[in-house]
Structure 1
């Protein structure tokens, strides 16, 4: 437990030291990336490479096109992935990684701008870079002061700081994040529209106002929604009849056999537009404490229906 606490204290101190050193170089790095017409190509060996992969992924998901290229593979053909429109973000605590240093002259000859994250301002990497971000730490959390621990934490945090600064500078918003994460919960909420999950066509239960109660019940049973829309001759919704309405009619002791849909329907039901977000439909159902809602198009004609089960299957709720 003592070592665990000491590790966290050392890494926390490393981050605070990193915070105090950020200034003009950080701003220049952000500006250089904003001006980059291509991608940010992140490079690093060993543990710095693992950190680099994460930084590249974070940049890409927050509005800055990025990818990771392994320095050793770059020397054997992968350097062709880097174009003159790109910017290289090179990460090395020592700044003397052989595999990385072997390709620095080539990048220089191609006039590819380079931002370096290094713990040594006098290193080979720093000398080749256009912008140098100081990620030095007083000591590693490793008791031997050998294994990259505090230094990789500093690299990771500085990468996050770059991504957040760039995100804000680009005006990146929730909707943009969702487009990069269509499989995630936020993506589903911000990208899934009612038309994507609703039942449409013949699957939508609907009857006219003059439809007999018996025929209306057959329509409800065959469509399995637990409700049916009641429409006029122009396919505009005038009412709805649900399983709950049926229970309430029975509780009143009414003889339903000779009634029509118009006699028993609930007028003015809650409706949603097909171009609304599915999560908005969920909010409507929650607010009204209902389990089904009818869907209309821009001309207010009935085009669909959905219930809470449809939204759960789509993982919107």
Structure 2
């Protein structure tokens, strides 16, 4: 497939259009992959929309925990919608071309929403910390105004950081090849097709990822350290089990998201392979958002009860 080139002043060809190779090496499975990804997208939309709906209409779920869960489900819908529709389009039309502006826009929104997920998971862990470690002060501390401020902070924190990071990545020269061996515009595969010395850009990406991941992850570790210490002091086994069940779903999501994302962004660029990039990216961009509604609903009696009310009424 051809791509546009522009001659720069130093006679280096600069790419203005990228080709997302995606799953080009599986030509006989394009139809099957389209069906699988379409089904996953539908599951993600329905599952997260159900959680948003029940947390809004059920009186028993009008608590800070479920306010943040509704925010998280909204985030998951936005997060997968940045990448999955484009994947489906590429599989359906077999036209994998994407302009430089489209690629930069996709990367910027993907990184901003990924940053939001990191900080929103930290906010949710703080909510569980206050609920378990300071239950008497919980209604006072986690009032509606403070919850809204925490949620807004999580949504907007990554915007300036990721706009700057995306601008830095696309200030690189892209020459000789415009083929990105990935299914969306992520940092590691885009840097791979850049020409010239990219070491400073790689260092910046590493430092930015470290800050974005380290701050919320440290808050999560601190919160769960306090939570575990408090739970272990409870006198009965049933009390400990009940306390831990309120945060176990969140802990599973934290491990899945931070584990797969950290492997992608903290591995040196020289050690990245296209296959491992694709596998781990699939995990934290598509698989985890698909399982999140199941994790939260199947492990939460209040959510299950609210869902039963809705379906029994219908």
Q: Please, what TM-score do these two structures have when normalized by structure 1? A: 0.22
Q: Which has the higher Rg, Structure 1 or Structure 2? A: 1
Q: Higher helix proportion, which one? A: 2
Q: Higher strand proportion, which one? A: 1
Q: Please, what TM-score do these two structures have when normalized by structure 2? A: 0.22
